[in-house]
């Protein structure tokens, strides 16, 4: 048998801080009017972010002492705007790069483009920023150190400021601790919170999980967007599309076999947009580990479109209780803040 020389052995691939993925958008990616679901785009964004951050932590980490193989898990998604729509038949092109590293986390920036390959037109549809933590493959709940990304001094300062800001927001964000209310079996009055409130139940299977049997963050975001979209459609009774998602913190990993229950309820309606709060609760069903916990919560904003895909007025949201009025006041503050952010 011929022996191979050291030069014949596979060599580690050099890490390049840029990754692209393209995919043709199919009919099952979109609603009945041909608009690609926001949740589909969020899932693609998370997938490319997980790939590049896992590659970085392993490719660069091999050069460091005490290296452990690891897999990147989504910890937080910053506020994401949907700048332009994407349609069936277009090609989605995602570009990702690492923009900052802390000792225990990786920041990934993702741009999403839509290309009409027939007309040769290309447009930017989304920009997103995500934070990942590397977990050792030996014990998937244990975070391992992140190799430092070498950046120019000014970029390092800006990255540190973003890291400190997201850490502050994660620890001081308003956490929804209330359990979703059980609705009456009687039909609710149209345009009320109860009428639009939607609950989805999903049993986490193998296709929803990474190689280590925990649900992928992109799968959860897709389900949350779907729940929010149904609630918005019930209120507006038109074609609706996602225009933004506020920051999402993922508090705990959800294992395979868990029951994920998502509840979406309208909180605030402006003239042209509707805010939906989505709460994702997980229940571990294994007899030896049975427990419930809050997996994630976020605010999604949708707009209503006419048959020509132009924004139209949102029906006013009828508020029946003091709690609903309080949520609406808080939603209005978030709405005004988003307007100010867009203006800048």
Residue 225 annotated in active site: yes
DSSP string, 158-184: HHHHHHHHHHHHHHHS----SPPPPPP
Cα 186 to Cα 159, 317, 318, distances in angstroms: 52, 19, 17
- The tally of CA atoms less than 13 A away on the side-chain side of residue 144 is 25
Active-site residue (options: 29, 208, 225, 246): 225
124 touches 112 (CB < 8 A): yes
Alpha carbon dihedral 92, 19, 253, 135, in 10-degree steps, equals 170
Greatest CA separation for the chain:
81
| Degrees to nearest 5, angle at CA 144 with 14 and 141 | 125
Bridge-based pairing state of the strands 239-245 and 291-305: antiparallel
**CA-based nearest residue to 48, from 119, 97, 85:** 97
266 touches 274 (CB < 8 A): yes
Residue 8 annotated in active site: no
130 touches 45 (CB < 8 A): yes
- Is the sign of the CA dihedral 163, 168, 174, 176 positive or negative? positive
**CA-based nearest residue to 310, from 85, 102, 125, 146:** 85
Q: How far apart are CA 220 and CA 282, in angstroms?
A: 11
Cα 244 to Cα 42, 57, 281, 320, distances in angstroms: 11, 30, 22, 26
Q: Which residues pair with 229 in a beta bridge?
A: none
**CA-based nearest residue to 218, from 124, 97, 130:** 130
Q: Quote the DSSP letter at residue 13.
A: P
Residue positions annotated with a catalytic role: 31, 225
């Amino acid at each position: 048998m011929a022996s191979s020389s050291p030069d014949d052995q596979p060599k580690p691939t050099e890490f390049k801080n840029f990754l692209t993925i393209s995919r043709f958008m199919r009919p099952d990616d979109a609603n009945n009017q041909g608009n690609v679901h926001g949740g589909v785009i969020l899932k693609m964004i998370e997938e490319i972010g997980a790939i590049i951050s896992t590659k970085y932590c392993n490719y660069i980490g091999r050069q460091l002492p005490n290296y452990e193989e690891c897999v990147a898990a989504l910890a937080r998604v910053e506020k994401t705007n949907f700048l332009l729509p994407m349609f069936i038949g277009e090609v989605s092109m995602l570009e990702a790069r690492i923009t900052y590293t802390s000792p225990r986390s990786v920041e990934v920036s993702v741009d999403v483009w839509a290309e009409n390959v027939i007309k040769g037109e290309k447009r930017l549809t989304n920009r997103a920023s995500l934070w990942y933590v590397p977990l050792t493959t030996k014990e998937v709940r244990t975070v391992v150190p992140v190799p430092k990304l070498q950046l120019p001094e000014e970029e390092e300062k800006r990255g540190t400021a973003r890291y400190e800001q997201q850490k502050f927001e994660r620890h001081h964000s308003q956490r929804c601790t209330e359990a979703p209310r059980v609705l009456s079996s009687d039909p609710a009055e149209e345009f009320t919170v109860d009428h639009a409130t939607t609950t989805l139940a999903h049993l986490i299977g193998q296709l929803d999980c990474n190689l280590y049997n925990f649900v992928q963050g992109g799968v959860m975001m897709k389900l949350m967007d779907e729940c929010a979209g149904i609630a918005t459609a019930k209120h507006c009774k038109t074609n609706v599309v996602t225009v933004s998602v506020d920051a999402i913190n993922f508090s705990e990993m959800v294992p395979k076999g868990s029951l994920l229950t998502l509840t979406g309820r309208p909180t605030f309606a402006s003239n042209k947009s509707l805010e939906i709060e989505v709460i994702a609760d997980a229940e571990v069903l294994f007899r030896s580990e049975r427990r419930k916990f809050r997996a994630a919560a976020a605010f999604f904003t949708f707009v209503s479109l006419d048959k020509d895909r132009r924004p139209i007025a949102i029906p006013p949201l009828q508020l029946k209780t003091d709690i609903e009025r309080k949520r609406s006041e808080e939603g209005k503050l978030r709405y005004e803040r988003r307007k100010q952010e867009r203006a800048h």
